[in-house]
Amino acid sequence: KSHYQVVIAGGGTGGLTVAAQLMDQPNPPEVALIEPSTVHYYQPLWTLVGGGVFPREQSARPEADYIPPGVTWIKEAVKAFDPDANSLTLSNGETITYDYLVVALGIQIDWGKIKGLPETLGKNGVCSNYSYDTVEYTWQNIRTFRGGNAVFTHPSTPIKCGGAPQKIVYLADDYFRRSGARQQSKLNFYHAGTAIFAVKKYADALNRVVARKGIDVHYQHDLIEVRGEAREAVFMNLATKETVTVHFDMLHVTPPMSAPDVIKSSKLAHTTGWVEVDKHTLQHVRYPNVFSLGDCSNLPTSKTGAAIRKQAPVLVANLMAAMANETLPATYDGYTSCPLVTGYGSLILAEFDYTNQPKESFPFDQSQERYSMYALKAYGLPAMYWNGMLRGRM
Ligand code: FAD
């Protein structure tokens, strides 16, 4: 079979959530989901895996367990999109056609854009929470650190979970205090941007955390090269265009990211490479039978699973309406959330929308560090994800 009413490209957070919600409709459409991976990862856990709180296996479950009954799983990758012909090509060469398409391919990690990084990642103290393969090495580095210069980076490109690059700095600081390494250590956070966080209320709180912990933050510094054996990180000072070489004893890299190449090279892309959708309806601006959500879309909000939780019901309501030739009823306001772990047992829960104004769920000031919010992140949200969101229940 090569034609489906609805094709979902990508079975990650966005694709699985949309599939589950579509199958919950009174008259569900015929849906195929294209996803090559046999494992699905709850990536938000990787911050705590890198901090040694959970083993990495706890973030992984079989993809098959989360494909809703009734959905056809095509275990291939999309190789090319042809939206003018309502079709796409798979990595095995087959062509699939659709009436409606949902694009949810996530974000591409561009390790190779940093000179020397692929060769040294996973050794010489160079680690990253941004993949299942490298996240355990973060914890190994933190656990065995006996002093010296611990360096952390935040790139100049859009990334998923804008807070993750700094969460691991705070966990490392906390662990070094417990292990006795903190006094002999310097923590340096090189951030390509100009502020610690986009929303002022949380930025103010985080600046206080950084000052209290004695972390040195260097803005407008973008990692361009890693010399693993020499243990040197080379940064571009984006203000002066000078390069700065820094010795490290451990280096946590948040790599540059971009839209998946298969989207960049297709007619679905905006000039920035992301799928070009209306920021309120999630419908493609040129192809009305195409919708997109999550990290691969050009929705101008912070790329998180929490954002997808609010995007998915809007997408599904609008897709069902489009299929019935009705006007699109639902609107997404840019809601996103970032649980900013500030130590083992403390967390600032940032929640905001397109206006960059706080949009908090709890009846207290969420910019204060709290144990209750840490417990929510470590124990509550994973259960809500696996049992609720991916099952189409919230
Ligand atoms: P993904 O879930 O990444 O799924 C994309 C899917 O597309 C994958 O399954 C992939 O295999 C598939 N795919 C890729 N290419 C193709 C292709 N060519 N053809 C077919 N399929 C393809 N979010 C939060 O809300 N809170 C947090 O605290 C948080 N912390 C994070 C910490 C870290 C370290 C990381 C890495 C992420 C974190 N996130 C957090 C972000 C969150 O995980 C992502 O925003 C979310 O998973 C994005 O969902 P998605 O569906 O867009 O992409």
pLDDT tens for each residue of 344-384: 999 999 999 999 999 999 999 999 999 999 999 999 999 99
What is the percent of the chain where pLDDT is above 70?
100
Query: Could you report how far apart the first and last alpha carbons of the chain are, in Å?
Result: 32
Q: For ligand 1, atom 32, which residue shows the shortest CA distance?
A: 44
Round to whole Å and give the CA distance between 313 and 124.
45
Instruction: For residue 208, report the distance from its CA to the centre of ligand 1, in Å.
Output: 30
335 DSSP 8-state letter? -
Confidence of residue 394 (pLDDT cuts 50, 70, 90): confident
State which H helix or E strand residue 381 sits in: helix 381-383
Confidence of residue 138 (pLDDT cuts 50, 70, 90): very high
Round to whole Å and give the CA distance between 213 and 207.
10
- CATH homologous superfamily of 110-257 equals FAD/NAD(P)-binding domain (3.50.50.60)
Residue 79 pLDDT > 90: yes
Confidence of residue 134 (pLDDT cuts 50, 70, 90): very high
Q: Which two tokens stand for residue 8?
A: 């979902």
List beta partners, residue 225. 115, 234
Pocket lining: 12 vs ligand 1, CB cutoff 6 Å: yes
Round to whole Å and give the CA distance between 332 and 249.
44
- pLDDT tens track for 10-30: 999 999 999 999 999 999 999
Residue 65 pLDDT > 80: yes
Tell me whether residue 338 is one of the annotated catalytic residues: yes
Q: Where in the chain is the domain with CATH 3.50.50.60?
A: 3-107+259-334+386-391, 110-257
Tell me whether residue 296 is one of the annotated catalytic residues: no
ipTM for the assembly: 0.99
Class of domain 3-107+259-334+386-391: alpha beta
- pLDDT tens track for 274-321: 999 999 999 999 999 999 999 999 999 999 999 999 999 999 999 999
Residue 207 pLDDT > 80: yes
Residue 272 pLDDT > 90: yes
Beta strand pairing status for 3-9 and 232-237? unpaired
Residue 244 pLDDT > 90: yes
**Cα–Cα nearest to 234, from 290, 153, 137, 159:** 153
Residue 139 pLDDT > 90: yes
Pocket lining: 160 vs ligand 1, CB cutoff 6 Å: yes
- Looking at residue 146, its pLDDT comes to 97
Residue 42 pLDDT > 80: yes
State the catalytic residue, choosing from 6, 31, 150, 161: 161
State the catalytic residue, choosing from 20, 275, 338, 347: 338
Residue 160 pLDDT > 80: yes
Q: For residue 214, count CB atoms less than 10 angstroms from its CB and return exposed for 0-12, middle for 13-18, buried for 19 or more.
A: exposed
- Looking at residue 216, its pLDDT comes to 98
